[in-house]
Structures are given as C-alpha cells and as structure tokens.
Structure 1
Amino acid sequence: MAARIDPFTEMERLLTSALPTARTATSMPMDLLREGDHYVMSVDLPGVDPGTIDVSVEDRTLTVRAERSARSSSADWLVRERPSGTFARQLTVGRGLALDKISASYADGVLSLTIPVSEDAKPRKIEVSHAGTASQISPAHAVEA
C-alpha cells in the first residue's frame, strides 16, 4: 500500500522544527472572511494580556502584535507546548479597504478585527442619461440606406 505524503504539511513541520519564527503563524491562527461590506479577521490569542495587544496599519501592511508571559522557569516542566513571548502577524492588504475605520475587540482569547470596504470600492449603479429625443431608425430604413 502506498503512503500518502502531503508536501505542505511536511514543509511546515520542517520549518517549525528548524526556525523559531515559523511557529508564529501556528501560534496566532486566524480566520478571515467577508460579510457583506466588511471583512472579519479573528485571531486566536489565548492567555495573552489584553494590554499587550497592538494592532497597527502602515502603508498597506496590517500588523497584529501580542505578548504571552512565561510562567516561572524554576519549575520542573513535564510538558511545555504553549509558547510564550511576543508574537506578530503581518498581512499585506489590497486596495479598496477603509483602513482608517478598522475596529478591534478582544473577548474569550479571540481578537476580532472588522475591516470595512471603502465607499469607493463598493459596487454602485451608474445611471445613464439620455440627451434629447433622437429618432430611431427602423430596420426597413436601415436596409434602404
């Protein structure tokens, strides 16, 4: 029987074990979805002090930073899987978002960002005006001309 290998899972496993910065994405898992005229980004940040959460936008880059304090290191750890320290996640956002109107809330270990679509990017109907009274050409006249 052939073994099935997922190259993306293997690559993530290798990067996570080799590079400490590769753990950042898995330490801050997120969901991003669109609901009507705004996007909702939910970032899991359990155990983070809400005072350490920083959300900023510079140019077209949205950055979320937070810090989880480490417990006493003098203890005899049996299992230590929850990372501590400062975590950051950056997303390059496209045009058409109202970045100056982003709102954020933190509840039950989840940071929620609401990112509205800008008024310029929203679909709109353009009315076509009709100037004057133009006579229509009937199919019979079109053939004779």
Structure 2
Amino acid sequence: MANQPQFDPGRALANYDPFNVAENMRKLFGGFFLQENWMSPVRWMTNIAQQGMTIDIAENDESYTVLADIPGVKKEDITVEIAGNRITISAETKSGKEERKGDAIIQSERHYGSFFRSFILDKNVDDDKVAAKYTDGVLELTIPKKNGGQGKQISIH
C-alpha cells in the first residue's frame, strides 16, 4: 500500500486553473459559437422577457412620468400596482410558431414568460389620480404627488 497515491485537496486546488477549462471548451467546440448565426434557429424566441424592461423616470413639482418599453406585449397582459410610493409593473408574454405542410404539423413551438420591474419613488403618490396609456409598445404612467407630502421643520423646546 505504500505505492498507492494519496489525494491531497490543497495540492489539487493549487493545480486548478479556471482558464484552462475555458481553453478546453474553446478547443472542443472550435469556432462554433463564434459563427454569426449559431443561434438563428431559436432567434425568433427572443422577446422582452429575456431582454428586460427599460424604464425612464422624470419628475417635476407636481408628478412623476414613467416611460416603460414593453414591446410585443398586449395591453391586457400588463399590470401596474402602486403601494405607497412603490410602483410595480408586470407583464406576461405569450408567443408561438407553427409550421404546417398540408394537414400535418411539421413544427410547433410555444413560449410563455412573465417579468416585472419594481421601484420606489422619493415622495408618496396620489394613487387615485394615476393615468396610464400604452401606445406602440411604450407604457406611459403619469403619477401625481400627494399634496402635503413636503416635510416640515420641528422646533425643539
């Protein structure tokens, strides 16, 4: 048993090179992933759920204006919730593709996904007067600030 090699965890870690794994993968697959259209068969599945939602927020003395890019989503599939000064925009995507040859289905694929974006505004908002419209893939929220939301200074006696 004297010739049996023993495992030394410290030595194994010392010999580990994380870049070697990447190099081995590069050698194994060659330039496959570097080809321009290597994902073209599934490119149609790319949608807002994978890309995320971009949001712009503007503020003036009376209100906030929120613009959220949500292309490819139906208005009925978008939800806006307001709790205090927290705003949550959520949406659900549904897409599918079906190829037929006569009466036979050659290929049928579906994608369902949901995503949300939540953020907190500096001032409390008047949730009874919020206006929302959705045009050409852009959700626009006009969120009035609550009156009297300004702080006041307290004198100390």
Under a length normalisation based on structure 2, what TM-score does the superposition of the two structures give? 0.51
Q: Deviations over 1:52-76 (max 9, x none)?
A: 1111112442111112212227369
**Aligned mates of 2:59, 2:119 — CA distance in 1:** 16
Corresponding position: 1:116 with 2:116: no
1:1-145 aligned within 5 A: 26-72=51-97, 74=107, 85-121=113-149
Look up the SS of the partner of 1:100 in the other structure: helix
Answer whether contact 2:85 2:124 (CA < 8 A) is retained. no
Structure 2 gaps of 5+ residues are 1-47, 99-106, 152-157
Count of paired positions: 95
Look up the SS of the partner of 2:95 in the other structure: coil
What is the deviation of 1:85? 1.5
Alpha-carbon RMSD across the aligned residues, in angstroms, is 2.8
| AA matched with 1:89 | R
What is the deviation of 1:51? 0.6
Summarize the Cα distance change of 1:117–1:104 in structure 2 as closer, same or farther, 3 Å threshold.
same
What is the deviation of 1:25? 9.2
**Aligned mates of 2:95, 2:49 — CA distance in 1:** 16
Structure 1 gaps of 5+ residues are 1-22, 77-82, 124-145
**Aligned mates of 1:91, 1:100 — CA distance in 2:** 19
Look up the SS of the partner of 1:97 in the other structure: coil
Under a length normalisation based on structure 1, what TM-score does the superposition of the two structures give? 0.54
**Aligned mates of 1:98, 1:60 — CA distance in 2:** 9
Q: Which residue of 2 is the match for residue 143 of structure 1?
A: none
Identity of aligned residues (%): 28
**Aligned mates of 1:37, 1:25 — CA distance in 2:** 35
Summarize the Cα distance change of 1:33–1:26 in structure 2 as closer, same or farther, 3 Å threshold.
farther
